[in-house]
Amino acid sequence: MRNLIRSEPTLMVIALVMVIALAIPLAVLTFRPQVAHAAATQTHTKNNPICAKNGKSVELSQGGQMWCNGPQSNGPASSSSRTSATSSSSKPSFGSNVDAASPKEDVTPSGVQVHGQSETSVASAGPYVVEAWNDGTGFFAPCGSPMNKEELTGFGFSTDGGKTFTDLGGLPNADCANSIIEGDPSVEAYTVGGSTYFYISSIFIPFNVPENAMSVTACKVNGSGATAILACGQPIVAAISSQCETPSPGFTFCSFLDKEFLSLDPARGRLYMSYTEFFFSFVTFTETSTVELGVCDLSNPASPTCHNGSDGSITGTGAPAAPYFVVAPPDVNGCENEGAYPAVDLATGAVYVAYEHNWFTGLFNCGGETTQNVMNYVPFSCLMLTATSPCAGPAATQAVNINSLEAAFIPGYNRFPMNDFPRVAVSDPARTVSMVWNDTLQHPTGDIFLQSFNLGSLTAVQIQPVRINSRNNTGGWLFLPAVRQSDSNGNLNVSFYSRSSANTALTDVSAATKVNPRTTIPPTKNNTTVTTGPSDWNGVSSIIIPNFGDYTDNYFVGTTLYVAWSDGRLGIPNPFEDNFSVH
């Protein structure tokens, strides 16, 4: 727990939070437009002081920012005359890159075009591919809009292996008058009993109860081939607030759940979700960020049963049960834990969760602590299908000190701070679990680094992290990597944003393929460019921050790598996908 009564600036933050939360009218606290569901959303936002603290002592994901701030006017984070000059001649060119969304769909019933579709996740099974993204159309579309446009998680479906997509609008939510699906999506795929299912997770906000939540939407592929359709159910609560407080009569608020991600165990029919739980106490003047894990039973794949404290129910009493599993308890100095990603060991059923420690708070020398990426091992014996796990914490934990990019103003990227969240993948053939992240260890504009650990014990494979991107000595920015699965030989495929020069906002997506997780030597010939044309992010209009998201994603199946990212070649951010064979 962090004792906030330590300095004049901190006291000023506390005072400001209390004034905002307890005295200032609702409209000042939130900037969500006055659409049909706005009043309920604003009431719920008032009940959580985490929004007033965002950007001051904690930092939320893009989905959290969307909930707290609504649409935001924004421009490039950094620009230069050289950037504008070099990028003015570029023209939209897709090639094999596919826009998974349709800009024609991003129009409200009143005829307003909305520019804000970014932060992507992807999964594939057979010829079917699903990509999901944050969709700013929900800021302006009223409850009951066609194609569920009022929801802030959009998604597209492909029946031809990702060559084309149908934009399906927002995720279904029949109770949109009382809740909203708030973005930060993650997608997983599951084939069982001859049927294919996709699961899409999101932040989930009920309006009329103090708890916040995470949801999972189960979608089934009906039919086959080119005429197959994706039928999605209603949001299922997969995690809820485990901390609430009533500092004054009639004012109850609960913790905010943020930045969730999924990993699936097909052998055992389990779906896991990692996330961060943020809480601020007016009673003790402390703030906490706890990394947690939830589990869903896929015995009925069309309707998962999720376990988190009260087995996924929202009581509305402000007294929820404990979380299913605590991966990382609150830091003693209140340093922020954020950006948790899970991976399943398919051989044993164990789950590994990696997260960034001291993100954002590292800017303020939090407790004199070092910024780290942390790997945690959770044995399968801890993952019982009960309300809470029988284990008190991970069986093993290892941390790697990092040189963070969080103080960087990356040209064209309109969010500060940048994140260094670790993405994680298990390789059973190599007997490793690995994490990748962006780091300035060798170059001030960042590289993509790999650190692997032996399964179970988490003893380090490499003495120090290994750079896995090729480097042509131009000093371009490299950031937001993704990795999900290993290939049959145990090798990893890592995708990431890349730039040829530090003095440009022209951004591509690259991939380092067939990376041996036990390598100790930076590869030199395995990098490929995924994008067929760059995006000039200084010339892209967006109503959300960050303009091209907190993360990218990829998904490896058989010999095919599917890559998802936010692309700006249309002058607006859109969710793109491409795939290629890796032999």
Distance CA 534, CA 540 (A): 12
Residue 546 preceded by cis peptide, ω within 30 = yes
The alpha carbon dihedral of 547, 550, 554, 555 has a sign of negative
What pLDDT does 59 receive? 65
Distance CA 480, CA 403 (A): 15
Which residue do the tokens 């279904």 mark? 172
List residues bridging with 555 in a β-sheet. Answer: 562
What pLDDT does 437 receive? 98
Amino acid at 157: F
What pLDDT does 527 receive? 86
What pLDDT does 475 receive? 79
Contact between residue 326 and residue 292 where contact means Cβ atoms under 8 Å apart: yes
Distance CA 172, CA 461 (A): 44
Smallest Cα–Cα separation from 375: which of 465, 436, 435, 441?
Answer: 435
What pLDDT does 28 receive? 24
Contact between residue 377 and residue 325 where contact means Cβ atoms under 8 Å apart: no
The ranges of the chain with pLDDT < 70 are 1-47, 49-50, 52-67, 69, 72-94, 309-320, 472-474, 524
Smallest Cα–Cα separation from 117: which of 57, 183, 179, 173?
Answer: 183
Which pLDDT tens digit goes with each residue over 353-397?
A: 999 999 999 999 999 999 999 999 999 999 999 989 999 999 999
What strands lie across the sheet with 337-344, from one edge to the other?
337-344, 351-357, 372-378, 396-401
Helix (H) or strand (E) holding 18: helix 8-22
Q: What DSSP designation does 194 have?
A: T
Distance CA 432, CA 454 (A): 5
Strand blocks (E) in 345-383: 351-357, 372-378
Q: Counting beta carbons within 10 angstroms of the beta carbon of residue 569, is it exposed (0 to 12), middle (13 to 18) or buried (19 or more)? A: buried
Which pLDDT tens digit goes with each residue over 96-149?
A: 999 999 999 999 999 999 999 999 999 999 999 999 999 999 999 999 999 999
3-state secondary structure of 354: strand
Q: What share of the chain is helix, strand, coil (3-state, %, to 5)?
A: 15, 40, 50
What pLDDT does 309 receive? 61
For 8-579, CATH gives 2.130.10
Other beta carbons within 10 Å of 472: 10
Torsion of CA 418, 420, 425, 426, to 10 degrees: -170
Smallest Cα–Cα separation from 150: which of 162, 137, 166, 134?
Answer: 137
What pLDDT does 85 receive? 36
Distance CA 500, CA 113 (A): 33
Distance CA 331, CA 360 (A): 14
CA atoms within 13 A on the CB side of 253: 24
Contact between residue 419 and residue 359 where contact means Cβ atoms under 8 Å apart: yes
CA distances from 409 to 107, 122, 273, 312, 362 (A): 32, 28, 31, 39, 16
What pLDDT does 474 receive? 63
Domain boundaries, the chain: 8-579
What pLDDT does 293 receive? 97
CA distances from 285 to 10, 18, 57, 276 (A): 10, 10, 12, 19
CA distances from 87 to 118, 284, 412, 506, 536 (A): 21, 52, 12, 7, 6
Which pLDDT tens digit goes with each residue over 399-410?
A: 999 999 999 999
Contact between residue 301 and residue 329 where contact means Cβ atoms under 8 Å apart: no
What pLDDT does 526 receive? 73
| Tokens read off for 463 | 């003495």
CA-only gyration radius of the chain, Å: 22
3-state secondary structure of 362: helix
Distance CA 24, CA 60 (A): 22
Q: What DSSP designation does 118 have?
A: E
Smallest Cα–Cα separation from 118: which of 319, 368, 395, 412?
Answer: 412
Whole-prediction pTM:
0.88
Distance CA 481, CA 448 (A): 7
3-state secondary structure of 269: coil
| Tokens read off for 242 | 């485990």
Smallest Cα–Cα separation from 294: which of 279, 276, 278?
Answer: 276
